[in-house]
Structure 1
């Protein structure tokens, strides 16, 4: 059984962590080739898990 792919926000968070630790990478500007578009964020929102309350 293949492993489940990580989502858009997990990939963004992972890249931000790498950048913070000095990887030399940079985030793409909105609209740049290869950058996630509006449709990608809308699709990710449909599959997002609901937040758990910390009560």
Structure 2
């Protein structure tokens, strides 16, 4: 089974790390060519994994 491509939020996270490290890149402003659209964010929200609930130990 092939690995899934990293998602939208993973790509944003990695780019922010590169910018912080001094890559000289800039985030694209909303509406700019190549920037993620609102449709891309709603699609990413549908496929996002829910955070796992913490298990409590019963005594």
Which TM-score applies when normalising by structure 2? 0.85
> What's the CA shift string for 1:9-36, capped at 9, x where partnerless?
0000000000000000000000000000
CA distance in 2, matches of 1:34, 1:2: 26
What is the aligned partner in structure 2 of residue 4 from structure 1?
Answer: 4
Show structure 1 runs of 4+ deviating over 3 A: none
Instruction: List runs of 5+ in structure 1 lacking aligned partners.
Output: none
What is the aligned partner in structure 1 of residue 19 from structure 2?
Answer: 19
For residue 44 of structure 1, report the CA deviation from its aligned partner. Answer: 0.2
- Compute the RMSD of aligned alpha carbons: 1.3
Aligned length: 55
What is the aligned partner in structure 2 of residue 29 from structure 1?
Answer: 29
Instruction: List runs of 5+ in structure 2 lacking aligned partners.
Output: none
CA distance in 1, matches of 2:53, 2:9: 20
